[in-house]
Chain A
Amino acid sequence: MPVLADIKEAITRELEGLALVIGWGQGYDPVHAVPFFCRSSADIDRLIWNPLCVHNLVSYLPKLKGKKVGILCKGCDSRSIVQLLQEKLIKREEIVIIGIPCRGVVDMNKIQALINGKEVIDCSFTDKTITIKTSEGKQEASLDDVLAAKCLVCQYPTPIIFDHLAGAAFSAQRPAAAVDAEVKEIEGLDIPARLAHWERELDRCIRCYACRNACPLCVCRDHCAADARDPHWFSQRTGVNEKVMWQIMHALHLAGRCTDCGECERACPMNIPIQRIRRKINKEIKELFAYEAGVNPADTPPLYTFKVEEPTIKESEW
């Protein structure tokens, strides 16, 4: 049975007990998917599933705490669910997870380059290719060429946690070593060069907070310290210092929590590679605490607990 049919069947069975099911629907043109809230059986047929379903829908879950909801999720998205469960920010019994093993979603920037501003008439996929029909003809490309960077190093294609699995599970198809390559590139720079690199990149930041709003783990919402006067960590001045400060704060608040879903970078209108900062911190956390965020619901995030002695850090002899 095709994956989408699997999904629809699961929703049909579950919908009655749920306030809504969050999935993806068709956007304003054939290459855009949008989050879609399915509330009645009439909505079910409007759901779609293809490599355009880029969004991590888990970002909606913390706000819906208290309601029983269903959610569609890819492998990477499922880690956000696991992490929110670890942090007790959502309740397992309040969510029904329809997991989808995923071979990758597109990078919309790469798609835009392909379309080059033309009107899109149709978009179709095979296992290996994407074909886009525009007002000026047909563009065909290999899927690997338009996949998001995170998908090219994906280690969790099949959801870690689910109630229904649509389609067959499969394990990682890409080498694990690739995950660290871009972090190593930055680590190769000396400290002043690293600072210069990030000041250059982050100077593009317009502090629109799209990265924050898209992040499934940024749960403070209207109470974000970036908007506060007490504590007054930074001003509204638009200098590079404030931009760097904001991105550091965001990254540090995700230390030991970031599940590498890449929503921050995807949402960034200025194409700043901020996921790298998180990957670097993830790497440090893994080395320091032997912990990877969002892979085991029974784990405790290392920075959100108090232990006299960390099992991985030997401070005293006993």
Chain B
Amino acid sequence: MRIGVFVCHCGTNIGGMVDSHQVAEAAKQFPHVVYATDYLYTCSEPGQLQIQTAIKEQSLDGVVVAACSPRMHENTFRRTIERAGLNRYMFDMANIREHCSWIGEDKEANTRKATELVRMAVAKVANHAHLHSSLFDVNKRVLVLGGGVAGMQAALDCADGGLDVILVEKKTSVGGRMAQLDKTFPTVDCSICILGPKMVDVAQHDKIKLYTYAEIDEIKGYVGNYTAKIRKKAPYVDWTKCTGCGLCMEKCPSKQSFDYHNEGIAVTTAINIPFPQAIPKKAKIDPAYCRQFTKGKCGVCAKVCPVKAINYEMEDEIVTEEVGAIIVATGYGLLDIGELGEYGAGRYPDVITGIQYERMLNASGPTQGHVQRPSDGEEPKRVVFISCAGSRDASLGRPYCSNFCCMYIAKQAILTKDHVPGVEVYVFYIDIRSPGKGYEEFTRRAQEEYGVQYIRGRVSRVFPQGKRMMVKGVDTLLGAQMEIEADLVVLGTAATAAPGAQELAEKLRISYDGYGFYMESHPKLRPVETNTSGVFLAGACQGPKDIPASVGQGSAAASKVLALFSKDQLASDPQIALVNERRCIGCFKCQDTCPFGAIEERELRDGQKVAHVIETVCQGCGLCTSTCPPGAIQLQQCTDNQIIAEVEALCQAWKQRS
């Protein structure tokens, strides 16, 4: 092998704490190295040109660049050497920045470590093999998970771009959280009025296939060729017949069913359509409350239904859809307020959550927009809002800001003033976070125009005092304890990951953070991509965000899919597992451990059965290679022999030093 080594200074990023020149000089002594040099910025155009020139003049057949993390520039340099005629995989990077200069304070020790890292990389490249991608076809259909505003936007943009879209929504209607809201900040326009047209567009678009009341059972495959198993849950109503007339709801005798759309502040019937603007407007039976299911007899809805759509025997149906990309827009959940014992949430009826209050404010909500105390139905004279209820609280394991509570509390405070003449409104806050366009003006309006009393401080306890609730807190600006008697307490409840977010992430093989929010590929530069190729994120599933940001991400994710689908074929990554058939003993332990189902049985001409890796399905995770007892299955570019060569190079360096 003739290997060239190029050591970067990265300005002072590396050069300040590692003697890059000395590393290059030392590299000249390593086996296989015929050329070594250092340069101020190896990734710059002259830096890359230096590599290409050396490849030609020195007849190099392998290159090592000692610089930053391969996550930054591995692809840059692979293309560089490819332009000079080498196979792009005859390359390795030694990370002497993140692993070296940025973390060690001793320049001499850093230089030594950098030298050892280069020595290992050289030993590895000496064992590299030429690898080649193969091309595979792309299925230009996209699966959107979640029919909230982000998912709908993504679906509409993809469909308008000419793609076939499969939209899967967990509930019976699209609309998501936004369909529950009364008004939106900072314009105080009716939420369903602006959302409704989008919902209609989704339902009527001839490129969008809508599955509501459906969930994902299984996702298999890889970018360009995913297979999704979608579970269409049984609504016990034949939706091909149901006209949404609502007669069943009128006659249903089980009128004490939990009302999910109204967040439990009202009751509904066991068979119900969640809200008047629901799309599709179809009824569903909640078997937990339906007398036909709980008591085994009733059948009222089946009798009254004019189109005979009721079917108590209905079962879940599994449909399979083949797609090339997936947009995840599964939204967020809300903290179980039972965790906030000091606020009495869940114990006292007059302590409610922001989303419950939103339903109360809504003209089509259970109180027709009248603000009432849940305990006695009286109109409150004083309402207290508590922001950061569960967020920004490390003691609850939720140190993050829930993003939109400050703004909806200001909106709800204004609406309270509008709905109830003469009402007093207090808001306990830690900071007022209003960085969006028109947001700061909006919160100022709440305070200055509407006279909402903002108290900077936290609430320590809420407890009943006669018919009212006593709110005990602190005003940190006055440095005084506060006690306010309130008729109604509204909590700005923390946003959490959607229930089941982690399980879905595992099915999609995407990463999630400690709170269950999905991880973007890069927090700044790849905000809607995931580290799983072909899976994109939109909306609050990635972290709490408001409507404009969710819509923006929906469109961004759609544009990523459209760009991906602009090619008919994609190149596979050849850095995958490969079976040495001469060594395989056919025990198929690799098959049992493979998380991706990438290993199949292949029969050789003599009848012997060996393992075979399906190139496009393998993700190169390496589980099979650590399982295979005879080492017959090897991860290309990370083979046992390459790792052994690296370890041996390191041990030799230590031996020479001691």
Q: Footprint of B on A, CB under 8 Å?
A: 87-89, 219-221, 223-225, 228, 230-233, 253, 300, 303-306, 308, 316, 318
Quick check: A231 and B634 within 8 Å, CB to CB?
yes
Binds A, one of B87-95, B423-431, B482-490, B625-633: B625-633
Residues in A with CB closer than 8 Å to B589 are: 87, 304
Partner of A231, one of B584, B593, B594, B640: B640
Q: Min CB distance, B158 to chain A, in Å?
A: 29
A316-B502, A318-B502 given; A228·B644 CB < 8 A: no
Contact A306 B594 (CB under 8 A): yes
How many angstroms from the CA of A253 to the CA of B587 in the assembled complex? 13
Q: Are B641 and A225 in contact (CB under 8 A)?
A: no
B583, B623, B644: the one within 8 Å of A306 (CB): B623
Contacts A228-B583, A303-B627, A306-B593; A318 near B641 (Cβ below 8 A):
no
Q: Is the CB of B641 within 8 A of A219?
A: no
Q: Is the CB of A253 within 8 A of B629?
A: yes
Known A-B contacts A223-B585, A253-B629; the reply to A304 vs B639 at CB < 8 A is no
Chain B proximity of A311: nearest CB distance (Å): 15
Q: Is the CB of A225 within 8 A of B588?
A: no
CA distance A306 to B594 in the complex (A): 7
Nearest-neighbour CB distance to chain B for A166, whole angstroms, equals 32
Beta-carbon contact of B644 and A232 below 8 Å: yes
B651 to chain A, nearest CB (A): 11
A300 to B591, CA, bound (A): 13
Q: Across the interface, do B503 and A318 meet the contact criterion of CB distance under 8 Å?
A: yes
**Residues of the A chain whose Cβ atoms lie less than 8 Å from the Cβ of B627:** 303-304
Of the residues A88, A89, A305, A308, contact of B506 by C-beta under 8 Å: A308
A224 to B629, CA, bound (A): 8
Interface residues in B485-521 by Cβ distance below 8 A to A read: 502-503, 506, 516
| CB < 8 Å neighbour of A89 from B502, B587, B644 | B587
Cross-chain contact A231 with B595 (CB below 8 angstroms): no
Q: Are B585 and A233 in contact (CB under 8 A)?
A: no
Q: How far is B580's CA from A225's CA once the two chains are assembled, in angstroms?
A: 13
- Judged by a CB distance under 8 angstroms, whether B592 is at the interface is yes
CB < 8 Å neighbour of A228 from B592, B595, B630: B630
Q: Are B630's CB and A225's CB within 8 A?
A: yes
Partner of A219, one of B502, B506, B585, B592: B585
Instruction: Report the minimum CB–CB distance from B220 to chain A (whole Å).
Output: 14
Residues of B contacting A230 with CB < 8 Å? 580, 583, 631, 641
Contact B630 A223 (CB under 8 A): yes
Please name the residue on chain A nearest to B584 by beta carbon: A223
Give A307 Cβ to nearest chain B Cβ, in Å: 9
* 12 residue pairs bridging A and B, Cβ less than 8 Å apart: A87-B587, A88-B587, A219-B585, A223-B585, A223-B632, A225-B631, A228-B583, A231-B631, A233-B644, A253-B629, A303-B593, A318-B502
Q: Roughly how many angstroms separate A233 CA and B644 CA in the complex, as a whole number? A: 7
The interface residues of chain B lying within 8 Å CB-to-CB of A219 are 585, 587, 629
Residues of A within 8 A of B516 (CB): 318
A308-B632 Cα distance, complex, nearest whole Å:
25
Residue of B nearest to A218 (CB): B629
CB-CB nearest in chain B for A220: B630
Chain B neighbourhood of A305, CB < 8 A: 592-593
B593 touches A224 (CB 8 A): no
Q: Which residues from 586 to 630 on chain B have a C-beta closer than 8 Å to any C-beta of chain A?
A: 587-589, 592-595, 623, 627, 629-630
Q: In whole angstroms, what is the CA distance A84 to B301 when docked?
A: 57
| Chain B, Cβ-Cβ closest to A303 | B627
The listed residue with most A CB atoms (<10 A of its CB), out of B583, B587, B630, B641, is B630
**Contact present for B630 and A304 (CB under 8 Å):** no
A225 to B632 Cα, complex, angstroms: 9
The answer to whether A88 and B640 touch (CB under 8 A), given A228-B630, A318-B502, is no
Q: Least Cβ distance of A226 to chain B in Å?
A: 9
Cross-interface CB contact of A220 among B593, B629, B641, cutoff 8 Å: B629
Q: How far is the CB of A278 from chain B (nearest CB, A)?
A: 15
B502 and A221 contact, CB distance less than 8 A: no
Closest to B589 in A: A304
CB distance from A260 to the nearest CB of B (A): 19
CB contacts (< 8 Å) of B580 on chain A: these are 230
Chain B residue with Cβ nearest A217: B629
A232-B127 Cα distance, complex, nearest whole Å: 12
Report the Cα distance A88→B632, complex, angstroms. Answer: 19
C-alpha gap A228/B583 in the complex (Å):
9
| CB atoms of B640 and A233 under 8 A apart | yes
Alpha-carbon distance A219/B587, docked complex (angstroms): 8
CA–CA, A209 and B629, complex, Å: 16
A308 to B506, CA, bound (A): 7
A233-B640, A304-B589 are known contacts; what are 18 more A-B pairs with Cβ within 8 Å?
A88-B587, A220-B585, A223-B583, A223-B632, A224-B630, A225-B631, A228-B583, A231-B631, A231-B634, A231-B640, A232-B640, A253-B629, A306-B593, A306-B595, A306-B623, A316-B502, A318-B502, A318-B516
- Which of chain A's residues have a CB closer than 8 A to the CB of B641? 230-232
Distance between B289 CB and nearest chain A CB, rounded to angstroms: 27
Distance A213 CA – B77 CA, assembled complex (angstroms): 48
A176 to chain B, nearest CB (A): 30
Roughly how many angstroms separate A89 CA and B640 CA in the complex, as a whole number? 25
Note all chain B residues with C-beta closer than 8 A to A318.
502-503, 516
Chain A minimum-CB-distance residue to B582: A223
What is the CB-to-nearest-CB distance from A209 to chain B, in angstroms, rounded to a whole number? 14
Task: Name, among B503, B506, B592, B644, the residue most crowded by chain A CB atoms within 10 Å (CB to CB).
Answer: B592
Give Cα distance in the complex from A256 to B587, angstroms.
16
Given contacts A225-B630, A230-B580, A88 and B588 within 8 Å (CB-CB): yes
Complexed CA–CA distance, A110 and B587 (Å): 38
- Give the complex CA separation of A253 and B641 in angstroms: 18
User: What is the chain B residue whose CB lies nearest that of A305?
Assistant: B592
Which listed residue, B503, B585, B634, B644, touches A221 by the CB 8 Å rule? B585
Contacts of B502 in A (CB 8 A): 316, 318
How near does chain A come to B318, taking the closest CB pair, in angstroms?
21
Chain B: minimal CB distance from A91 (Å): 13
Nearest CB of A to B622, in Å: 12
Shortest CB-to-CB span from A246 to chain B, Å, is: 14
> Which residue on chain A has the smallest CB distance to residue B597?
A306
Q: Is the CB of A228 within 8 A of B631?
A: yes
CA distance A312 to B639 in the complex (A): 31
Question: Taking CB as reference atom, which chain B residue is nearest A249?
Answer: B629
Give 9 nearest A-B pairs by CB, closest first.
A231-B640, A231-B631, A223-B630, A220-B630, A306-B595, A225-B631, A308-B506, A253-B629, A304-B589
Chain A residue nearest to B631 in the complex (CB): A231
Q: Give Cα A216–Cα B416 distance, bound, in whole angstroms.
A: 77
A221 to B644, CA, bound (A): 23
A58 to B460, CA, bound (A): 69
Shortest Cβ gap from A104 to chain B (Å): 31
What's the Cα separation between A178 and B516 when bound, in Å?
Answer: 46
Q: Chain B contacts of A308 at CB under 8 A?
A: 506
Q: Which of A221, A232, A233, A318 has the most CB of B within 10 A?
A: A318
Bound form: Cα–Cα A260–B223 in Å: 46
CA distance A253 to B627 in the complex (A): 9
Least Cβ distance of B610 to chain A in Å? 11
